[in-house]
Chains A and B, each alone.
Chain A
C-alpha cells in the first residue's frame, strides 16, 4: 500500500475534526428531544473524535501514515459523506451509529490497522446510507 502524504494526513484530521463539529451542531439543534444520557453519550463521542483528530495532526507533523492512495480516496470520501449525512440525521440512534462508525474508522486509521480499515469504512458507509435511506423513505 502506498503511504499517505503529509497533506492527505492533515486533510484526514480535518475531516474528523469537522465531523465532530457537525455532530455537535446536530446535538445542539436536537437538544429538545435528547435526554441527558443521550446528550452525554454523544458528547463523549465528540471528544473522542476531536482527540483522534488531534492525534492525527500530531502524526502528520512527525510521520506519514501508511496506506494506499486508493484507500485514502475512499477514506476521505467516506468521511466526507458522513459529514453530509450528519445534516440529515433524524433520530438519536442514527447520530450514535454514525459517531460510533466514525470512531471505529478513526481508530483503525490512527492505530495503523490497515486490515481493519475496509471493515470500518463499510460500517461508516452503512451508517451514512441508513441515514440517507431513512430520509428518502420519509422516516
Chain B
C-alpha cells in the first residue's frame, strides 16, 4: 500500500495518522480545484447591473405626479368642479400603496440579486464559519497541516461561497424573471397608458384655460394681458410636458431593466464568463444612460 502510494507520489503515512494525510491532501486538491473553478466566476457585472437597477427603479415621481395632478388641475377649472377633483384624488390615494409596492418589489428584488452578487449573505457566512470550525475540530492534523488547513480555509470559504452564490444567483434569477417581468410590464403600462395619457388630459385643460383668457367672445383684446397669458400658457404647458417626459424616461429605464434582466435570465448558466460580462456590461451602460436621462429631466 505504502509502495503504491509512493509510486503515486504521496508521502509516507505516520503511524499516528495513517489515513489523515491522504484524506487531507485529497481534500486539499478537491478544494483547490473547486476554488479555482468556482472562484473564477466574477459577479462584478451582475452586482453593477443590480445596484444600478435598484436605484433607478425607485422613482417617487411616478406616484407623486399621478396623485398631485388633481390638485394642480384645480387652478384650471371653475370651483364647481373642485369637489370632483378631490374625489378623484382620494381614489388615487387609495392606489398609492399598491403603486409603491410595485416599485418596492422591483427594488427589493434587484437588491437581492445585488446582495448575492456582492457576497452579502450573512446567514450563509455563519454556516461557513461553523463548517470551517468543524473541519478543524474533526481532523487530527499536525501543526504544519493545521497551518495549511488554516491557510486554505479562506480559500475554501471563498470557493464554497462563490459556488453557493452562483447557485443562488442562478436560482433567484431563474425563479424571479417571470414575476419581475410581469411587475415591470404592469408598471410600464401604468406609466405609459395611464399617467402619460392622463397628463395629456392636463395639457388639454391648460390649453382651454388660456384659450378662454385670450379668445373667449366679448373678452377685450388687451395686448399686455394677451402677451402675459401667452407666456403663462407656454410655461404651464412646459411643466406638463416635462412631467410627461419624466414618466417616459422612467419607462425607458424600466425597459432597460427588463432587457438586462432577460439577458441575465437567458444566460444565467454563463454568469462570470468574459462574454457574459461584456454583454451584461453593455446592458448596464444602456441602463445607466437611461437613468442619467431620467435624472436630468427630474432636476
- A residues lining the B interface (CB < 8 Å): 6-7, 10, 13-14, 17, 20-21, 24, 28, 31, 34-36, 39-40, 43-44, 46-48, 50-51, 53-55, 57-58, 60-62
Contacts and interface: CB of A to CB of B under 8 A. Distances in A.
A17 B217 contact: no
Interface string B159-201: 0000000000000000000000000000001100111011011
A50 B204 contact: yes
A36 B78 CA distance: 16
A55 B69 CA distance: 12
A51 B91 CA distance: 13
B289 interface: no
B-side interface mostly: helix
Interface of B: 66, 69-70, 77-78, 81, 84-85, 88, 91-92, 94-95, 98-99, 189-190, 193-195, 197-198, 200-201, 204-205, 207-208, 211-212, 215-218
Contacts of A60: 193-194
Contacts of A48: 81
Contacts of A46: 204, 208
Contact of A51 (B66, B85, B212): B85
A97 B70 CA distance: 28
A58 B200 contact: no
Contacts of A34: 217
Nearest to B186: A6
Given A47-B205, A51-B85, A10 B197 contact: yes
Nearest to B76: A47
B78 to A, nearest CB: 8
B211 A24 contact: yes
Contacts of A35: 217-218
Contacts of B78: 44, 47
A-side interface mostly: helix
A77 B201 CA distance: 21
B286 to A, nearest CB: 27
Contacts of B198: 13, 53-54, 57-58
A58 B95 contact: yes
B10 to A, nearest CB: 70
B205 A50 contact: yes
Contacts of A61: 66, 95, 99, 190, 194
A38 to B, nearest CB: 8
A17 B201 contact: yes
A57 B77 CA distance: 19
B210 to A, nearest CB: 12
A57 B197 contact: yes
